[in-house]
Amino acid sequence: MSKTRKASHAGSWYSDSAKELNKQLDNWLGGAELLHGPARALIVPHAGYVYCGETAAFAYRQVSPNVVRRVFILGPSHHVRLAGCALSSAAKYETPFYDLTIDQQVYAELNQTGSFEKMNLSVDEDEHSLEMTIPYVAKIMEDCKNNFKIVPVMVGSLTPEKEAQYGAIFSPYLADPSNLFVISSDFCHWGGRFRYTYYDQSKGAIFESIQNLDRQGMDIIEQLNPSAFTDYLRKFGNTICGRHPIGVLLNAVNSLPASEKAKLSLRFLKYAQSNQCYNQTDSSVSYAAASLIFNN
């Protein structure tokens, strides 16, 4: 019997009421402008919607649902040690709106590379980085809900060499305009509870130092330079939880033919922090939304 991944974070991280959730997402999407689309890839946050839903809307607003037939979702593993990438054992993902079907043909193609593990259903349902993208994907694709499938991928703690390997695997899919990549990542997790308290006093208050640190990383990501992003992470240790999915995306871009790579443009459209930190006892998580497009 085919398995459905339950919406295990509904009712806590976001509303389990389709009516209430629809109202929320409509409001956030209505406040976001179409600035950098149609998107071929997004970077979106994955915290509770009360914290990051408005920021995420700026990325999702850039999607043109009529052309999308497949949504690849790459999210970091928060709970399970994973040296590579893993595919779901489910056939569908549940949302308060409707179920999203996994593209088993693409899963078969990925499995043929020998580079993917399979995660069991309980591991899948524990992980929020994939699930928190699902209701938003269902919402923006609702007018085309019978015309697309999803390809969820859990990304482990990859070495730069592994990021390049997976980037090469995903690159042909990125080149296809009927595919959309959703890269799930929050940005700096700052404070004692995250064991990260980097502070450059020359930038002002702590929250301003955090913003400057994140902006440096965002600027490098916009340059689509995977090795520069790796160097940045080594230098500052910024606690960007989706750094490996982002690294895979940058390497997928890097694996494209030069003529295709030259057409790409990535822009960050929104940035926010859960809290403004002034003291060492404070803590915050940063959220950013970006869109990658192919220019004609």
Kindly indicate the confidence band of residue 79, based on its pLDDT and cuts at 50, 70 and 90. Answer: low
Kindly indicate the confidence band of residue 47, based on its pLDDT and cuts at 50, 70 and 90. Answer: confident
Return the pLDDT at 11: 81
Q: Is the pLDDT of residue 8 over 80?
A: no
Return the pLDDT at 2: 67
Domain residues for the domain of 31 are 4-294
Q: What is the mean pLDDT of residues 276-283?
A: 96
* Average pLDDT taken over every residue of the chain: 94
Domain count, the chain: 1
Burial 199-236 (b: 16+ CB within 10 A, else e): eeeeeeebbbbbbebbeebbebbeebebeebbebbeeb
The pTM (predicted TM-score) of the whole model is 0.95
Q: SS3 string of 48-101?
A: CHHHHHHHHHHHHCCCCHHHCCEEEEEEECCCCCCCCEEEECCCEECCCCCCEE
Kindly indicate the confidence band of residue 263, based on its pLDDT and cuts at 50, 70 and 90. Answer: very high
Closest CA to 251 of 155, 167, 132: 167
Kindly indicate the confidence band of residue 1, based on its pLDDT and cuts at 50, 70 and 90. Answer: very low
Distance CA 268, CA 224 (A): 12
CATH of the domain at 159: 3.40.830.10
Tens of pLDDT, residue by residue over 111-128, are: 999 999 999 877 767 767
Please answer whether residues 131 and 92 qualify as being in contact, where contact means their C-beta atoms are separated by less than 8 angstroms: no
Return the pLDDT at 191: 95
